[in-house]
Amino acid sequence: MKVRHKARRRAVAFVTICLLALLALPALAVYEDGTHYCGGTQTAWAQSLTNGNTKVWPPGDSQYTYYSLGTGSLVSKRTHSPYGNGGGYWKVSTDESLNDPGTYPGCSNYG
Amino acid sequence: MRSVLVLTAVALVLSACSAVTTTTIPASSGPSATIGTSEPEVHSQDDQNAGEATDIPVFEGTLQEMIDAYRECFRSLGYDIVQVGPNAYKTVGLPDDREVAEEISDTCTERVGYQASRPVPGTADEIRARYRELVDLRACLIGEGYDLPPAPSEAAFVEGFPNVEFSPWNDLPDQLPESDYASINKACPYQP
C-alpha cells in the first residue's frame, strides 16, 4: 500500500513538472515562405491569414509590415511590395496561428 | 502498468497543448496570377534558419506605447518605421540583404518584445466575451467618425471561431495619417 502511494506521488510530481515546463516554453513561431516573381509592370504581394504577432515580408521586399493580431479570429492582410520590383523571396511569420491555404503570394496588374 | 498509463496521459497532454499553441493547415497554392513561383513551405521554429527571435520579452505597456518603442529602437539602429494601422507598422530603410534585414528586425523584437498574449478563447462564453469586446471597439471607432461595415452576428462568430473574420481595425480606411492611428488607440484602447 505504501509503495503504491509513493508511485502515485511520483506520477503526480512528474505530470506537474511536465505541465510547468510546458507553460514555461515560449510560443513556437511558425512561418510560411517561398519565392514569387511578377512582371515588371505588376505589383507583387503576400496574402496572409493569421493571428498573433505577425510579420509579412512581401515578395522581393526587404521591408516588412508588423501586425498585432492577438489571439482572436484569424485576420487576412494583403501586403504589397513596391510597384514593379519583380517579386522574389517572401515570408509570413507569426507566434500564434497561420492558415496555410489563406497565406500565399500573388501579382496584381495595378500599381 | 499504471506508470505506462500516466506517461501516455502526459504525452497526450503535451501534444494537445502544443497543437493549441500553433496551428497550421496543410499546404495548397493560392489563387494568384503567377509569372514564376516556388511552392510555399510552412515551417516551425524548430527548423533551421527559422530567422525568428527566440527570447522575446513581454512588453509592459499599451499597444501604442509598444509601437512607439519599436520606432525608437529602429531609429537607434539608423532605420525607421511608419505606423500603418492602430496595430501595425512598416519598416523603412532596412538593407536590401534580407538576412541582415531580418537580423535587425529580430534585434528590435528582442529589445522591445510583445504584449503578453491573452489566452485563446476556448469556451463559447469566452468567445462571446471576445465578440462583445470587438463590438465595443467597433462602436468606439464609429463614435470617432469612421464608417465601418456591419459586424457578423454573435451566433456566426461563436460558431465559426476563429475562422469568422471580425476585425474593426481591418475595416478602417487605408493610409490614414500616422497621428490618426495614435488618436484611435488613445480614444479606443484595445489589446487584441
What lies within 8 Å, CB to CB, of A80 at 6+ separation is A43, A44, A45, A58, A108
| pLDDT tens-digit map of B70-116 | 999 999 999 999 999 999 999 999 999 999 999 999 999 999 999 99
Peptide bond into B162 cis (omega under 30): yes
Q: CB distance A100–B134 less than 8 Å? A: no
Residues of A in contact with B184 (CB under 8 A): none
Distance CA A70, CA B119 (A): 9
**Least Cα separation, residue A79 to chain B (angstroms):** 10
The beta-carbon neighbor of B167 closest among A15, A31, A73 is A73
Residue B32 has pLDDT above 50, yes or no: no
What is chain B's alpha carbon radius of gyration, rounded to the nearest angstrom?
A: 20
**A111 and B37 Cβ atoms separated by less than 8 Å:** no
Q: What ipTM does the predicted assembly reach?
A: 0.79
| pLDDT tens-digit map of B127-176 | 999 999 999 999 999 999 999 999 999 999 999 999 999 999 999 998 89
Q: CB distance B95–A26 less than 8 Å? A: no
The three cell numbers of residue B125 are 462564453
The beta-carbon neighbor of B22 closest among A28, A65, A108 is A28
| pLDDT tens-digit map of A34-69 | 999 999 999 999 999 999 999 999 999 999 999 999
Mutate to test the interface with A, among B15, B35, B55 (most CBs of A within 10 A): B35
CB pairs under 8 A between A and B: 217
Assessment of whether the complete model's pTM goes beyond 0.90: no
User: What is the residue whose three cell numbers read 510555399?
Assistant: B40
Distance CA A54, CA B124 (A): 26
Q: Is A86 exposed, middle or buried, given 0-12, 13-18 or 19+ CB atoms closer than 10 A?
A: middle
What is chain A's alpha carbon radius of gyration, rounded to the nearest angstrom?
A: 22
Q: Which of A11-20, B9-18, B156-165, B175-184 is least confident? A: B9-18
Distance CA A76, CA A39 (A): 24
